[in-house]
Each structure stands twice: as C-alpha cells, then as structure tokens.
Homo-oligomer: A and B are copies of this chain.
Amino acid sequence: MTRVFSSDYRDHGTRFPDPFPVHRLKRVDRPTTWINEEEIRRVDERDGGFHRAGRGEYGGHIQKEYHRFQEKFPLSEALFEVTHRLGEPDAVSGAPRRGPAPGTDDPAAMARHIKETGYFLRADMIGICRLPPYAVFTHGRKDDQPIELTHDYAIAILVDQDYKTSAAFNGRDWISNSMSLVAYSHSAFIACSLAEYIRSLGYEARAHHATNYQVVLPPILLWAGLGEMSRMGDVVLNPFLGPRFKAAVVTTSLPLEVDKPIDFGLQDFCDKCGKCARECPVQAISHGGKVREKGYERWPVNVEKCTSMRVGNRLGSGCGTCIKVCPWNKPFTPFHRMVSWSLRNLPPTRRPAIWADDLFGYGRPDPRRKWWLDLEVVDGEWRIPRCGPSSQLPVREEP
C-alpha cells in the first residue's frame, strides 16, 4: 500500500519512533477499565468461543461449519495455510543464539530500538508492557499441556485489516474472515521475525499469534497503551486504527522500558454511541452498561451468539460488522485526524460526531470499492453463494 508521509513524518524516526502520533495521547497509570489483579484467574485457551464451537458446544450445525470455516472461501483458506505454517514450534520459539549482545542493557534505549525494528518490519503500531502473569493461558489448545512462560515483557504488534476493504464490505461479506486473517498473518510474520531477532541478540523470545498463542491479548494491549476496552466486549479499540486491527505478541526476557496505558475518552464515547450494538446482526453486543466479572470491567458480550454468527454465517465468511460500523474505523486522513483529535480531547463533540457518522453514511458498504470474488466451497466443490442484500458486483467507471 502507498506509504504517504503525514505531517508527523519529520518526527517519525527522529524525535519519536512511531509513525502514528501516539506521543499525543494522554497516558494514565492504569487502564481506564477496572482490573482487579487479585481476582483474575489465568484462563484456558480451550475455553475460547471458537474452540467451544469446534467441540460442538454451540450445536451440531456450528460444529460442522467450524470445520470448513477457513476452507469455505479460497482467500481465507490460503491465508490460514500461511499463518498455520508460522505456528510451527520452531517458527515461534527457540533458544537464544548466543549470549546477550553488548550495549543492550539500557531498557529505555532497547524499547525504542525494538519499536523501530518492529516498524522497519512493517508493523502498524507497537506497544510494550510487563507481561501480566494472568495473561498467560493455563493450557494450550494444540497439545493440551500446561503452559509455563516466565518472560517479563510483552511487545504487542498491531496490523491494520485494510481500510479500503473495510469501506467496501457490509461487515459480513465473503471477505470478512480474510480481513481478520490478513492482519493475523502479517502480525504473525512480524512477530516471528522480531522474536528471531531478539534471540539473535542473545535473549529469550517467543512469538504468540493466531495459530500459536500462550497468552491472551486484551490485557496486554491495555497495559501496552494500545487501546481501551470497548462496547464490543473483548475488543480493545485503538485511537488511530479503531477496532480494525489484529495483534500478535512477542514475550521476552530482554529488559525493556514499558509504555503506559492510554485514555482517549473511549469509556464515555462507547457509553454514548452503541452503534455496534445497534448493528450487530445477532444482537450479541450489550446496549447497557459495563459489568465487573472475573476481575475485569467490561461491556458484556454474548460469546455464543457472536461465535455462532461468525462461524455459521450463511451469506458470507466470518463477521466484523461491529468493526465495520464503529465510528473509530476511519482512514488516517487530515480530516479524520482532526475529528479524532476532537473526539479525544473535547467531550462535547462526541454526541454530534456519533450523529454525523450515521448522517454521512459511514458504516454502509461502498460497492465501488468491492474487489473480492463471492465464491464458496462446499464439500470440496465450487458454489456461487447466495449473498446478502448489500453484496453486489463492483460498479466501476472505465479508466
């Protein structure tokens, strides 16, 4: 994609490591949603919605669909295949290649260096935190073994799901699952490369990504200053990418200066907005307030409904309707940067902005930008799928 440089270009790589102006965000000592470290228990990866779907806990139909979830659409199948290959044990982990490199013992300098390395490796945004012990899964789904992970630091890597495609789709078209997978695959590739590099520098490092996790991501994203909890439930929302990203993590023994959590007013914004709850096709997102459970404060989400919609979608592949319609899902243009600034800093502008977001038609699919093929594989054979009402062929002016 085009790399056009913003007005922050002069600062990028000189004063600040980050291409996005994250230095303009308000930093706070703790995440903006209540977290009770005493109460949180480590979770088992096998208890996640997708794995429950695969075990048949959401019914036989969803279980059957789970097993063709990637294969049903050819681009998902391809992206899952490459991501799966990155999940091999020797792709995510290994021993440090030698003793620690000289001059790598300054945590502040190394935090900056690791971020600049990650941006060189084409990450979109990076944050660093201490690895919360409660973010480590008790057991992995791959081998059912208990997980021991003693790394002190977590480096979180965000990759955009592609604004252009997110403008084109209706939230649950055939491309939906591939949007997740393109960000999963690239964040996985960057995390594997960065973990290799840290091991080359002589420190322990392990990549965690979609096809091989030992950690749960939301608390890491919160502590690393990459977002706040949103109405979408488990989704951490970033002030520049909105919810339109996926993350991978590198955990490491390399001492690093950590980032602080951010506060860009999202708790107030999500309280006022509720567009995701209104548009969710299965009404899995709460219209009400936050709750406190299992040590976290968050908007509750119906995981069974959400997972069953994504896995069982009959008119497409996956679902990201909440990502599509969220007012924070915008391109990083001068206009939207100005709006984002005012949403972050001027609370009275939030209600008018939410109203204008609907008025200007954001959240509706833009058929001029549709580029994917509506195709479905059923039992190894092609089928021209039924599509939802908003799926249409690209409408194009001749160049």
- Chain B residues near A9 (CB, 8 Å)? 331, 333
Q: Does A14 lie at the interface of the complex (its beta carbon under 8 Å from any beta carbon of B)?
A: yes
Contact A3 B399 (CB under 8 A): no
Q: Does A95 lie at the interface of the complex (its beta carbon under 8 Å from any beta carbon of B)?
A: no
Q: Does A50 lie at the interface of the complex (its beta carbon under 8 Å from any beta carbon of B)?
A: no
Identify which of B124, B197, B200 contacts A3 (C-beta below 8 A): B124
Q: Does A117 lie at the interface of the complex (its beta carbon under 8 Å from any beta carbon of B)?
A: yes
- Among A102, A116, A384, chain B packs the most CB atoms within 10 A around the CB of A116
Identify which of B124, B167, B397 contacts A15 (C-beta below 8 A): B397
The count of chain A contact residues (Cβ–Cβ below 8 Å) is 81
- Chain B residues near A91 (CB, 8 Å)? 82, 85
Q: Tell me the chain A residues, 134-192 only, with Cβ under 8 Å from chain B.
A: 160, 162-165, 167-168, 178, 182, 185-186, 189, 192
A181 to B243, CA, bound (A): 31
Identify which of B1, B16, B332 contacts A399 (C-beta below 8 A): B16
Contact B4 A332 (CB under 8 A): yes
Q: Tell me the chain A residues, 1-59 only, with Cβ under 8 Å from chain B.
A: 1-6, 8-9, 12-17, 19-20, 23
Q: Does A74 lie at the interface of the complex (its beta carbon under 8 Å from any beta carbon of B)?
A: yes
Q: Does A380 lie at the interface of the complex (its beta carbon under 8 Å from any beta carbon of B)?
A: yes
Residue of B nearest to A7 (CB): B4
Q: Kindly provide the distance from the CB of A90 to the nearest chain B CB, expressed in whole angstroms.
A: 8
Known: A2-B19, A13-B167, A77-B200. 11 other contacts (CB 8 A): A2-B20, A3-B124, A4-B5, A5-B331, A15-B399, A23-B399, A75-B197, A77-B97, A98-B380, A103-B375, A116-B371
What are 10 A-B pairs with beta-carbon distances under 8 A?
Answer: A9-B331, A13-B371, A14-B396, A79-B196, A101-B375, A103-B375, A104-B373, A120-B165, A120-B371, A122-B122
Q: Which residues of A contact B (CB under 8 A)?
A: 1-6, 8-9, 12-17, 19-20, 23, 74-75, 77-79, 81-82, 85, 91, 97-99, 101-104, 112-113, 116-117, 119-124, 160, 162-165, 167-168, 178, 182, 185-186, 189, 192-194, 196-197, 199-202, 331-333, 368-369, 371-373, 375, 377, 380-382, 384, 396-397, 399
